[in-house]
């Protein structure tokens, strides 16, 4: 039965989306072809911003940094989360109790609910070169030689941010995968037990196989959030020291609001957006496939 005349309900949503999303998006893409400082005259310069972008070593290093952050925010948490979710679901819940499993799950999820600015305060404090707890701990256990200005030295800043982002992200895959495992028929595990399968075999053949849909969703959504990362960089390092932790979104922000190079900032954002939209379509395809 086909229902008619529902289009009117879409009007407020579509108008609002036009105003807040479509118009700004088109303006940014248009601005990326111009030279503009935000107040004066806007001059059309064609692809100049883009050619400049592809010759800009800062732009390339910001994308190199984002690749490492994809590793820290998507790849590592997804793989580690998969193992931890399987251990919690298929070992702790059975050998101990469901309460232990959900206690661990909540604990691991905790960093996810904390606002990013607070994550910045917490870790900025712990890694602080003068009063930070990490250096104190290292000194206390006789490893004072390893003490470091973790976020302040170009050699270690990005790795420190990566470690922090693993801490932030880990809970999300665990929760997603444990929810996905609820769908799995317990008889499958029992049958595997009867056949004498080891835990690792069950993990590989049953767990990993059955939660493929969640796996791809988690991997793609975390990758997209890694590409968009701004807050943690702003509060932890400000892109420094000497651009060691610069990422595209922060690079765009600097051009917009610090250097008043709005055209150039728009070109950076446009490239980032194209990348994310491509990934979003991958996400959609994976999702429609998993439904079938």
Partner 1 sequence: MTVTATPTRTPLEPAADESTAKKRGDPVRFVILAGLLALLLIVIAPLLIIAINAVKSPADYAGGGPLALPAHLYWDGIVDFWNRVDFGQKLWNSFVTSFTVAVLGVLLSVLNAYALGIGRVKGRLWFLVFFLVANLLPQEVLVYPLYFLAKQVHLYDSLIAIVVIFTVIQAAFGTYLLTSVYQDFPTELLDAADVDGAGKWRTLWSVVAPVSRPTLGVLFTFFFIWTWNEFFLPLVFLVSNDNQTVPVALGVLQGDRLMDATMTSASGLIGILPAMIFFLVFQRTLTRGITAGAVK
Enumerate residues 171-210 that contact partner 1 by CB under 8 A.
Answer: 172, 175-176, 179-180
The rounded distance, in Å, linking the Cα atoms of 267 and 254 is: 13
| 104 belongs to the binding site for partner 1 (CB under 8 A) | yes
| 63 belongs to the binding site for partner 1 (CB under 8 A) | no
Of 49-57, 66-74, 185-193, 246-254, the window that binds partner 1 (rule: CB under 8 A) is: 246-254
* Residue numbers 7-36 binding partner 1 by CB under 8 A: 7-10, 12-14, 16-17, 19-21, 23-25, 27-28, 31
Q: Tell me the angle at which helices 76-87 and 154-169 cross, rounded to the nearest 10 degrees.
A: 40
Please, what is the minimum distance in Å from the beta carbon of residue 292 to partner 1?
Answer: 11
Across 220-252, b (16+ Cβ under 10 Å) vs e yields: bbbbbbbbebeebbbbbbebebebbbbbbbbbb
Among 51, 106, 201, 242, binds partner 1 (CB under 8 A): 106
* Residue numbers 110-139 binding partner 1 by CB under 8 A: 110-111, 113-118, 120-126, 128, 131-133, 136-137
221 or 243, CB closer to partner 1? 221
Q: Which of 237, 247, 249, 225 is nearest to 60 (CA)?
A: 247
Q: Are 250 and 233 in contact (CB under 8 A)?
A: yes
Among 53, 86, 93, 227, binds partner 1 (CB under 8 A): 227
150: left (phi over 0), alpha (psi -120 to 50) or beta: alpha
Q: Are 172 and 218 in contact (CB under 8 A)?
A: yes
| 143 belongs to the binding site for partner 1 (CB under 8 A) | no
Please, what is the minimum distance in Å from the beta carbon of residue 221 to partner 1?
Answer: 8
């Amino acid at each position: 039965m086909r229902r008619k005349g529902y289009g009117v309900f879409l009007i407020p949503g579509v108008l609002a989306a036009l105003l807040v999303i479509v118009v700004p998006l088109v303006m940014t893409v248009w601005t990326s072809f111009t030279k503009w400082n935000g107040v004066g005259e806007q001059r059309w310069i064609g692809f100049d911003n883009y050619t400049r972008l592809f010759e800009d070593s800062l732009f390339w290093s910001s994308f190199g940094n984002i690749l490492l952050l994809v590793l820290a925010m998507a790849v590592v948490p997804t793989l580690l989360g998969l193992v931890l979710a399987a251990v919690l679901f298929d070992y702790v819940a059975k050998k101990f109790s469901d309460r232990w499993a959900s206690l661990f799950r909540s604990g691991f999820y905790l960093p996810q609910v904390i606002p990013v600015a607070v994550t910045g305060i917490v870790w900025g404090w712990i890694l602080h070169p003068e009063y930070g707890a990490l250096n104190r701990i290292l000194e206390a256990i006789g490893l004072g030689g390893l003490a470091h200005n973790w976020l302040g030295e170009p050699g270690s800043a990005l790795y420190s941010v990566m470690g922090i982002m693993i801490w932030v992200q880990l809970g999300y895959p665990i929760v997603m995968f444990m929810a996905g495992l609820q769908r799995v028929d317990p008889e499958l595990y029992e049958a595997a037990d009867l056949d004498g399968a080891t835990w690792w075999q069950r993990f590989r053949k049953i767990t990993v196989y059955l939660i493929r849909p969640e796996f791809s969703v988690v991997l793609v959504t975390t990758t997209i959030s890694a590409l968009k990362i701004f807050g943690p960089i702003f509060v932890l390092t400000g892109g420094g020291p000497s651009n060691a932790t610069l990422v595209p979104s922060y690079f765009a922000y600097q051009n917009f609001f610090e250097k008043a190079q709005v055209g150039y900032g728009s070109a950076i954002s446009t490239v980032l957006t194209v990348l994310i939209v491509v990934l979003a379509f991958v996400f959609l395809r994976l999702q429609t496939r998993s439904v079938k």
